[in-house]
Amino acid sequence: MDLSTEVREAKSRFGIVGNAPALVAAVQRALRVAPIDLSVLITGESGAGKEFFPQIIHAYGSRKHSKYIAVNCGAIPEGTIDSELFGHEKGAFTGAIATRKGYFEEADGGTIFLDEVAELPLTTQARLLRVLESGEFIKVGSSTVQKTNIRVVAATNVDMMKAIQAGKFREDLYYRLSTVHITVPPLRDRGDDIWLLARKFASDFSERYHTPAVAFDENVAMMLSHYPWPGNVRQLKNVVEQIALFEAGNSITPEKLRSYLPEVTTSFTPAVSVDGSHSYASERELLFNMLFRMRNEIDTLRATIETMESGVPRDIRPLDEPEPVEEPPHSLVRYSPMPRLYPDSHAAHDIITESPDSGMTLEDTERETIRRALERNEGRRKATAVELNISERTLYRKIKEFGLE
Ligand SMILES: Nc1ncnc2c1ncn2[C@@H]1O[C@H](COP(=O)(O)OP(=O)(O)O)[C@@H](O)[C@H]1O
Ligand SMILES: [Mg+2]
């Protein structure tokens, strides 16, 4: 069987949806390495779909008829993890009323998946290194060395280099675990897969809940593909599940969809992937959009405050009256769009009213953002507004203001 047929088969066997080259490459790598007994480290953001990979590796390897045990290292309390993994002798600690086998003994001959491996305490890391190097381990409270034959596949969403530098993860163990490295790409980088997954999840959930199908408006696809999906496929699945439940039988417009998506600016994650590679273009794009939205929010806020102060809506204030310049009172700024970077509203305000060092003013940035979005959408205003997450009316006003007609 050639590799692409095998990839197709593995995808359908495990229910993996998507054709993005980076995802397909990851599946291919898993299939290649499966029959060779090497340790594999899976990295990728949370919710990206890492858990399929150890299963593929086990199912397509020579250990497929032996046990597969998945352990979430982050979910086991530090005090019991050694005993869970390696077992304990009777009387090793209070409550150890009988000898117990650990997962490494239990899964002898098979595969262990160590999820969230960066969460392992350093003492456990030492035991793990030993078992990887020599197949040897010792039960807690015992002095007898035992042998086991295990293949380890580990996963993490942590930047391991940082963890090593911070002294939280052993460098030698890292290299031992990552003989082969598989990277699962973030959802935001998977293009049309987002749309494919959304429709698949929508039909799955409608079927599961016996609810009438939802119909996505054509502009929804674009909005989905521009959302940064900090929670990746898990988040998309969750959003679509809610829509399938609460919008059963309805047509889903971008406006409706927006009410199910957390504010993109508050859930912003930088466009830096776990392997440290950078996508400057998409990062700049995100920053442009973010600045643009911040500006709109502040405009709205200003108008609200002005209305409150004068009792007259901003738009009908006499033209010759100077614009009020007061800062918005603190308590009103409920949605400071970047709470982590700019914890107080004044800082957020400053950064968008002053020119950045590059010499590009906010006006330039805004004009540039809109110009590019219009270009990408071939001048279609509705689509551009959706992409920028602003109303068509605002877009229209901005186009006039910047003379972009
Ligand atoms: N490509 C995909 N096709 C279908 N479902 C996916 C895909 N990737 C992830 N999922 C689903 O998304 C959820 C999160 O995946 P998971 O493997 O648990 O993420 P991770 O371990 O990387 O945090 C699971 O319900 C999984 O089935
Ligand atoms: Mg996981």
**Which range, 81-90, 311-320, 321-330, 366-375, is most confident?**
81-90
How high does pLDDT run on average in the chain?
Answer: 83
Q: Are 27 and 11 in contact (CB under 8 A)?
A: yes
Query: How far is the centre of ligand 1, averaged over its atoms, from the C-alpha of 49 (Å)?
Result: 3
Counting atoms of ligand 1 from 1, which one is nearest the CA of 155? 21
Regarding the beta carbon of 233 and ligand 1, being less than 6 Å apart is answered: yes
Q: Give the separation between CA 296 and CA 292, rounded to whole angstroms.
A: 6
Q: Which helix (H) or strand (E) holds 180?
A: strand 180-183
Ligand that comes closest to the CA of residue 233: 1
DSSP, collapsed to helix, strand or coil, labels residue 259 as: coil
Q: Whose CA is nearest to atom 16 of ligand 1?
A: 49
Q: What are the pLDDT digits (tens) for 105-141?
A: 999 999 999 999 999 999 999 999 999 999 999 999 9
Residue 234 Cβ contacting ligand 1 at under 6 Å: yes
Looking at residue 360, its pLDDT comes to: 62
Ligand 1 atom with the shortest distance to the CA of 193: 1
Model confidence band, residue 386 (pLDDT cutoffs 50, 70, 90): confident
- Please write the tens of the pLDDT for every residue from 262-311: 875 443 444 444 344 444 444 455 555 666 666 666 666 776 676 676 65
Contact 380, 392 (CB under 8 A): no
- Which ligand sits nearest to residue 54's alpha carbon? 1
Mean pLDDT for 51-65 is: 97
275 versus 77: which is more confidently predicted?
Answer: 77
Ligand 2 center from residue 285 Cα (angstroms): 29
Residues paired with 216 in a beta bridge: 252
The CA-atom distances, in angstroms, between 177 and each of 210, 237, 253, 317 are: 44, 30, 46, 67
pLDDT band at residue 362 under the 50/70/90 scheme? low
Q: How far is the CA of 186 from the centre of ligand 2 (A)?
A: 13
pLDDT at position 292, please? 61
Rounded to an integer, the average pLDDT of 311-326 is 46
Other Cβ atoms within 10 Å of 34 Cβ, number:
23
pTM: 0.68
Distance 233 CA to ligand 1 centre (A): 6
